[in-house]
Amino acid sequence: MKKLIVFLMCVFAVTSAMAAEPTCNGGSTITANNGTTFCKSNKSMNWWSAFTWCESQNRKLADFTTMCPDVSQIAEGAAGQCSNLQNVGSFCVWSSLASGKGYAFSVCSDGAVYDKDRTASNYLNALCE
């Protein structure tokens, strides 16, 4: 009986550890210029859905400072501002950083940073760390 209990505990521990491992199902892996890897959703979505999608991958919506560690002051729409994500694909993605009532910061693959309405869903993808 003790062996069965120990066996079941081991199975539970392994299953729990496997379930907590990050995935990128329905997305693609992006490697930033500094070597950080992210998971970008294949579909566009609003800001709240991006949080949920990242959680479903056992990840979290990317923090702006992780996405763009070289940005100390945001200049909206300035190409090349986020050099870490510049030219590593073709996308515009949400960050977890809210920027005022109803808005959040996003980054596009030209390195430009934008302040977008959190309900926008027509071209912004989730970016998870």
> What are the strands, taking DSSP E only, across the chain?
27-31, 37-44, 92-98, 103-108, 113-117, 125-128
On whether the CB atoms of residues 81 and 68 are closer than 8 A, the answer is: yes
Q: Give the pLDDT confidence score for residue 41 in this predicted structure.
A: 98
Examine the pLDDT at 17 and tell me if it is beyond 70.
no
What are the tens digits of pLDDT across the range 90-120?
Answer: 999 999 999 989 999 999 999 999 999 999 8
Q: Give the pLDDT confidence score for residue 8 in this predicted structure.
A: 44
Q: What average pLDDT does this structure show over 120-129?
A: 93
Q: Give the pLDDT confidence score for residue 122 in this predicted structure.
A: 85
State the amino acid at position 95 in one-letter form: S
Q: What average pLDDT does this structure show over 30-39?
A: 98
Domains and CATH numbers, the chain: 26-128 (3.10.100)
Q: Give the pLDDT confidence score for residue 12 in this predicted structure.
A: 46
Examine the pLDDT at 3 and tell me if it is beyond 50.
no
